Amino acid sequence: MKKHKKMKRIAICVLVGLVGIGISIVVLLQDITQKTNRIKLHTPKLAAIKDGVYEGSYSIFPVSAKVKVYIENKRIADVKIITHEHGLGKAAENIVSDVLQKQSLEVDTVSQATISSVCILKAAEQAMEKGE
């Protein structure tokens, strides 16, 4: 009988612990989502950026990105992703083609990879600001 009660207490403690961990994860994810939604993106004026290669980085825990932006003749010639710690957001790397096509950082984020998309775009923004 004592062994049964002890096992029951252990099971309850484990269950309470798992619920606590689950709640913590939900709160953390909500915080990350709110931070991401508050971030404003803008494209620095290309006419004001000197030709060159500029490096920038940005992170929103647990995602980070480091990029090189190539500016030629007042155009975004290329964006190379140097590092991208992405978890499930690898698909966000496809956003580079939209940036090159629109010549703007103000593009739609990649569905299911919003945080990674924002990190890549903000890293590019910071890189371009170095050339102004």
Q: What is the pLDDT of residues 22-78, one digit of tens each?
A: 888 777 777 777 787 788 888 999 999 999 999 999 999 889 999 999 999 999 999
Q: Is 6 helix (H, G, I), strand (E, B) or coil?
A: helix
DSSP label at residue 84: E
pTM over 0.75: yes
Element spanning 112, H or E: none
Quick one: average pLDDT of 106-118?
Answer: 92
